[in-house]
Amino acid sequence: MNTPEISTDKSRLNIDFIFSFLSTSYWASERSLEQVKSSIDNSLCFGLYQGTAQIGFARIITDQVVCSYLMDVFIDPKHQNKSYGKFLMEEIYKHPTLRNVKTHYLITKDAQNFYKNFGFNTYPTPDRFMLRINF
């Protein structure tokens, strides 16, 4: 694996690349470009780069103490199956902002086995987990 670079510098993020991927994802296809920009502005973001080209992304919402919520994780399909997703996840949870956070959340439809490699488990009592969605 040719190790890529990870940066939390938002000025390096390729917003068009991120929006292009998210607009075809099952979880974010209805977000507008303006909504994607706003979500980036209000999150801790991780760009994954091969040279100057962005090849992956993840963002986290956190209070830096009690909880964090991992969202919008992806690797460009042209760069998948090279362990870049694993590298990105390992580096995210080494970040100083997240080291002391007690509980980390995520929601996934199809990647439970991948996230279990990083200490995530399915929620043991779904009846306690509540969600409010504004339409």
- Flag whether the pTM goes above 0.85: yes
Name the amino acid, one letter, at 3: T
| pLDDT digits 0-9 by tens, 4-47 | 999 999 999 999 999 999 999 999 999 999 999 999 999 999 99
| Residues contacting 57, CB < 8 A, separation 6+ | 13, 17, 18, 21, 45, 46, 47, 48, 72, 73, 74
| pLDDT digits 0-9 by tens, 49-100 | 999 999 999 999 999 999 999 999 999 999 999 999 999 999 999 999 999 9
